[in-house]
Structure 1
């Protein structure tokens, strides 16, 4: 909601400074970083600093401290300098006295109130604006409880500010009642200061010196003083129901015991080092041993013996591979699950593709991940009821969780529900991601990437309530044949993996699709397409779901099976490409066909267009056939793409002959594997892939589907959507080939 007083502040900074600070701000009455950056630049200009920066950093603080250690009625250097202060007050929700240019009693009262809200009334009494308070004024931190913020957390924030603001590297934290990265770091600074670390040594990092100091600061029932205050603060910031107190009473002891039980620490109801560590940093005490591990190395009998000797019971292994050469043992290897079971271990499966940022996560990608993980789990022999942990292996910000991760996991759940829920959904990721996905009802247990302690989704967030595995450190165990590097995981018992398995499904050629599978295939494909906006009746498109599936899957199943076997190509690659294109045909495509016909008969119109059930350009068909003839994949006559008659003949073939169009789809895929030599999309060609194979990995399948359409952003987006379609089709092809 727009605030007219904030709008007035925006108008001031634009008029007085816009031409001199290299930026103007929108005059929309909304407080945001843009406004704070402009006001910061205005301060720097008044201080004579250059170059100007959006950051109120050390140089700005030093200059302000040197020139104006106390800003008040008598020291404010100019009317505009005062107006900067008044504008910032309005943006923070305090009285700016009309941006009058005078450090008036109203401004003095506002600054006094600001310092009280920050917890600095005692440290900086009166109405003087001191440099560190000014720094806090020119950011987006709130100093009153916001939303669902806790009054007790705010009390801790104010206490930290008031007690430590005088230290060189300590700056005011928000007092909004919410735990955060800055608050977590400020608590570490406080601990370091109380341990006696000097300015410049204390750095807010849970390093060796801090750990050594805390090992000497065990407190328990009956203890009093600063270490109890700090410990109770750490408990509260981890959402444990205690009071902020300096006395370690029975109530605090009981809650410490409850936390230790929850985090699988030694139960002693005292603030010992492992408990301090688990409260202060996501990975906790990294000297702990865990009953679980995950890794990228095959589990052999010798390695299994090493793990058992270390007390490991559960091993996390990956369902799929990202590369044939990089970390070749990362995915579960042939026979490995039998070895795991025979050696008394259990396995929990992890599904991870190359999504290392938010762009790889969306609803359609989630559907694809769900289908792909189920197919892979079946291939390996995981039984019904196994929990699969789907990875979010990056530092997803809270807004990215809302926009990308939650829809992605909705897609995963919908895919698995469509299949009758043969598997259970878990999540691997930072604390905040895991907690939010669980709260949305999209996961049943969390595998927490707590080794990444610097992730914004870990620092300042408690261990998720549904945690199953807590990843804390990488460690190398054993020697000789038994040597293995693992990530050590603490296990809560919420997930125990699987210790027996069905026989794995071998990589075998595709077969004809049995008639009894078709009804369920039609239902699953229709559900998916409807979920991404394609109604089964066709909607505004020319062809219905049933018509497209009949044409591109069922009617030509013998041909597609023959092509699959001949070219070592999964049937789903041909089916998905053709079905997807046919579902998109609309009246505009018929108009383009007519324009091509006109061109080749009258010379007026379009020379080429995508056409037929698989929407193939005549030139693309011609070049793919030429390439495959040269590679001896197929026989035929080489034709010239610059010859109109040759081009038109190729265009008519893919337009009018369904079987020829489907055969051309397979050749287009083979051409794509070789980088589309001679093509124009893109002009420089594509990277050459490994030869077509039945064991193509996820990224290779994506590349084939993407290259069929092109190389622009739409082609990538559609390829992501077609991945799910591919996996639905391959699910049923898989059932057929393993009967």
Structure 2
């Protein structure tokens, strides 16, 4: 909802400064960073700073301190200058007294209230607007408790501001009751100031000087004063419930400290010693700690295993898969190497698996990609011999901000859980990433244990967030262990004991069993040309005006997902081409002609309306009949068919019992139908079960890698239906199967 005074502020800054500061803002009456940036630039223009920028940095603060150290009714520089102040007040939710250029009593009263809420009213008495308060006025920080904030944390924030605001590099932090990155850094500044560090030396970093100083400031029962206040503040920020913000170290506080030390696997002393301070102030804590676990991208040899054992390591994290090419003979063998797990187990170590492809930005994370990753992870875990019940840690190896966790990471882990379920539910899901990622994913029960990347302490998802409750491994430092042949660079992890990895393995059969292998992309163009020629020969041109995808687009999609198709084919011992063909064929025939009852989206909209009582936003607002089910998704599978096929897979032990659904239950049907329509990975993973189901209906065994061409053709025909037309169309698919096999068979033979 638009605020009329914010709207006036936006109009003012656009009309008065737009051409001067190189930007204008949207006039919508809603406060946002762009409006604050424009007001900051307007202030800089008034101060004579050039070029102007969005940042209220040291130059702006210095110029303001030099020219206008105290702004009030008698020192007001100009009417427009005061209009900037008034506009900022309205954008922060305070009375600006109109935007008339006058430093009125109403303006003065609002500034006094602002300072009181910041906690600096005893330092900056009265209603003068001073530079650091001005800086706090021109940002989006709140100075009242908001959302999930607490009044206790707000009181600590106000105390920090009031005690340290006059220090050179300390700036007013939010007083919103929420522990955040800025507040976490302010705490380190506070510790440095109390140690006696001078302005310019104190920098908010947890460096060697700060660490050495903290070793001289252990607090324990009986201690009183500022150090205890800082310690209790740090405990509260880390969500140690029942702790009060006070300056006396009580027996009750000692109990809470012991509980915290036990939680993060520190020596349980009940005192605020260096290691405890470190764990409270920064995510990696005391990096001199010995860790019982490590993870690495280097092969574990007998010599390296011996070096790790001598270091006290019990558990080793290794990667299931490496999508990047690795030079022959490289020692940086990220993926578990042949014979390596036997070396690990034989050396008395245990291994926990990690799955990561690239994953260093939000675009690598989505529900379909999560399902694909899970399918791939399961296949590689089976290939390496990890037994049922093993937990696989799926990596989020980037600084995901909270909005990206919501939009990308959580759907990705929903997809991972679908993928784990689709491949039998035999493995558990863990999450590797910053604290906020681990906590949010785990709170939704999308992972049951966290491998925390605490070493990346500057990540926004670590700085200001407490340790996840379900942590299993805490990554704290990189170091080289051993020497000579035993030298290995690893990340040291603290082990909580929740996950002890595996020490025996049962590898799946090798590729020499006649199973399909991953496609050799050298033949991509040749296979594409052959498929296009075949499709033309059976009356399917490169494109039609009424279909969504061209033949080439359908081919390229299928080939780009080759690793998933390959993993499924190997897992279920059937031919890869048999799984790919329904996807390619149905993609090429997906109708988007926008003619009712011909457009494939019409049927989907009708099903959506049946189950929700409304039309979806992706379908034009036209009258449509309701339908309980339709063929949907890339492979055009009916929801009921998918349920029956997946139930058969449960009966055969290929899926866990939790995968069973009732085809007569509307809620179950809509759940599976929606996944088919929206999650490509789920659809692809369902195709093998549909083939098994159809084979059972027509009395054909398998299908397996040993199925005859006649039986394979029967399965392809049954996928199309039971009519005479289905027989004709199914036989066309069989021809396509032979085109694929022209390339796949030699690849199997030379694997």
Residues 695 and 480 of structure 1, relative CA distance in 2, 3 Å threshold: farther
Partner of 2:584: 581
SS of equivalent residue, structure 2 residue 316: strand
Q: Within 1, Cα distance between the matches of 2:276 and 2:370?
A: 37
**1:211-243 per-position Cα deviation (integer Å, ceiling 9, x unaligned):** 010000011000001111111111111111211
Mapped pair 1:84 → 2:88: no
**1:556-607 per-position Cα deviation (integer Å, ceiling 9, x unaligned):** xxxx99xx99xxxx9876455533221223475999xxxxxxxxxxxxxxxx
Q: Within 2, Cα distance between the matches of 1:65 and 1:171?
A: 14
Partner of 2:437: 433
CA deviation after TM superposition for structure 1 residue 481, in Å:
2.4
Q: 2:406 is matched with which residue: 402, 422, 425?
A: 402
Partner of 1:489: 493
Q: Within 1, Cα distance between the matches of 2:182 and 2:277?
A: 18
Mapped pair 1:361 → 2:362: no
Residues 421 and 9 of structure 1, relative CA distance in 2, 3 Å threshold: same
Residues 669 and 65 of structure 1, relative CA distance in 2, 3 Å threshold: farther
SS of equivalent residue, structure 1 residue 82: helix
CA deviation after TM superposition for structure 1 residue 296, in Å:
1.2
CA deviation after TM superposition for structure 1 residue 475, in Å:
1.3
Mapped pair 1:414 → 2:418: yes
Q: Within 2, Cα distance between the matches of 1:507 and 1:669?
A: 13
Q: 2:340 is matched with which residue: 336, 341, 344?
A: 336
Within a 5 Å distance, the mapping from 1:212-223 to structure 2 comes to 212-223=212-223
CA deviation after TM superposition for structure 1 residue 20, in Å:
1.9
CA deviation after TM superposition for structure 1 residue 658, in Å:
4.2
Give ranges in structure 2 of 5+ residues lacking alignment: 518-545, 559-564, 595-634, 637-728
Partner of 1:282: 283
CA deviation after TM superposition for structure 1 residue 503, in Å:
3.5
Residues 666 and 8 of structure 1, relative CA distance in 2, 3 Å threshold: farther
Q: Within 2, Cα distance between the matches of 1:67 and 1:17?
A: 20
Q: 2:353 is matched with which residue: 339, 349, 356?
A: 349
In the superposition, the TM-score normalised over structure 2's length comes to 0.72
CA deviation after TM superposition for structure 1 residue 508, in Å:
2.6
Residues 37 and 666 of structure 1, relative CA distance in 2, 3 Å threshold: farther
Within a 5 Å distance, the mapping from 1:178-197 to structure 2 comes to 178-197=178-197
SS of equivalent residue, structure 1 residue 99: coil
Partner of 2:113: 113
Q: Is the 8 A contact 2:516 2:576 kept in 1?
A: no
Residues 23 and 590 of structure 1, relative CA distance in 2, 3 Å threshold: closer
CA deviation after TM superposition for structure 1 residue 430, in Å:
0.4
Q: Within 1, Cα distance between the matches of 2:36 and 2:592?
A: 52
Q: Is the 8 A contact 1:429 1:448 kept in 2?
A: yes
Partner of 2:234: 234
Q: Within 2, Cα distance between the matches of 1:170 and 1:64?
A: 16
Q: Within 1, Cα distance between the matches of 2:2 and 2:459?
A: 33
Q: Within 1, Cα distance between the matches of 2:157 and 2:486?
A: 50
CA deviation after TM superposition for structure 1 residue 496, in Å:
0.8
Residues 419 and 195 of structure 1, relative CA distance in 2, 3 Å threshold: same
CA deviation after TM superposition for structure 1 residue 421, in Å:
1.4
Q: Is the 8 A contact 2:71 2:129 kept in 1?
A: yes
SS of equivalent residue, structure 2 residue 135: helix
Within a 5 Å distance, the mapping from 1:291-302 to structure 2 comes to 291-302=292-303
**1:385-441 per-position Cα deviation (integer Å, ceiling 9, x unaligned):** 000000001111100000000000000001112333100000000000000000111
Q: Is the 8 A contact 1:541 1:583 kept in 2?
A: no
Q: Is the 8 A contact 1:378 1:505 kept in 2?
A: no
SS of equivalent residue, structure 2 residue 98: helix
Q: Is the 8 A contact 2:153 2:177 kept in 1?
A: yes
Q: Within 2, Cα distance between the matches of 1:183 and 1:71?
A: 27
Q: Is the 8 A contact 1:264 1:490 kept in 2?
A: yes
SS of equivalent residue, structure 2 residue 476: strand
Q: Is the 8 A contact 2:370 2:412 kept in 1?
A: yes
Q: Is the 8 A contact 1:507 1:695 kept in 2?
A: no
Q: 2:375 is matched with which residue: 371, 375, 396?
A: 371
Partner of 2:269: 268
SS of equivalent residue, structure 1 residue 508: helix
**1:690-712 per-position Cα deviation (integer Å, ceiling 9, x unaligned):** x978999xxxxxxxxxxxxxxxx
**1:87-138 per-position Cα deviation (integer Å, ceiling 9, x unaligned):** 1001101101111211000000000000000011011000000001000000
Q: Within 1, Cα distance between the matches of 2:501 and 2:270?
A: 31
Q: 2:478 is matched with which residue: 474, 477, 489?
A: 474
Q: Is the 8 A contact 2:547 2:591 kept in 1?
A: no
Partner of 1:174: 174
SS of equivalent residue, structure 2 residue 405: helix
Residues 590 and 92 of structure 1, relative CA distance in 2, 3 Å threshold: closer
**1:358-403 per-position Cα deviation (integer Å, ceiling 9, x unaligned):** 0000000000011111111100111100000000011111000000
Q: Within 2, Cα distance between the matches of 1:256 and 1:207?
A: 24
Q: Within 2, Cα distance between the matches of 1:575 and 1:503?
A: 25
Q: Within 1, Cα distance between the matches of 2:411 and 2:261?
A: 34
Q: Within 1, Cα distance between the matches of 2:91 and 2:276?
A: 41
Q: Is the 8 A contact 2:122 2:162 kept in 1?
A: yes
CA deviation after TM superposition for structure 1 residue 24, in Å:
1.2
Q: Within 2, Cα distance between the matches of 1:98 and 1:294?
A: 60
**How many matched pairs?**
570
Partner of 1:310: 311
Q: Within 1, Cα distance between the matches of 2:441 and 2:750?
A: 32
Residues 340 and 587 of structure 1, relative CA distance in 2, 3 Å threshold: closer
**1:477-510 per-position Cα deviation (integer Å, ceiling 9, x unaligned):** 1122222221110000111111121134323354
Q: Is the 8 A contact 1:510 1:571 kept in 2?
A: no
Q: Alignment RMSD, CA only?
A: 3.0
SS of equivalent residue, structure 2 residue 326: coil
Q: Within 1, Cα distance between the matches of 2:89 and 2:749?
A: 65
Q: Is the 8 A contact 2:548 2:591 kept in 1?
A: no
Q: Is the 8 A contact 1:319 1:331 kept in 2?
A: yes
Partner of 1:451: 455
In the superposition, the TM-score normalised over structure 1's length comes to 0.73
Q: Within 1, Cα distance between the matches of 2:326 and 2:590?
A: 46
Mapped pair 1:41 → 2:45: no
Give ranges in structure 1 of 5+ residues lacking alignment: 514-539, 553-559, 592-612, 615-653, 671-690, 697-739
Residues 571 and 188 of structure 1, relative CA distance in 2, 3 Å threshold: same
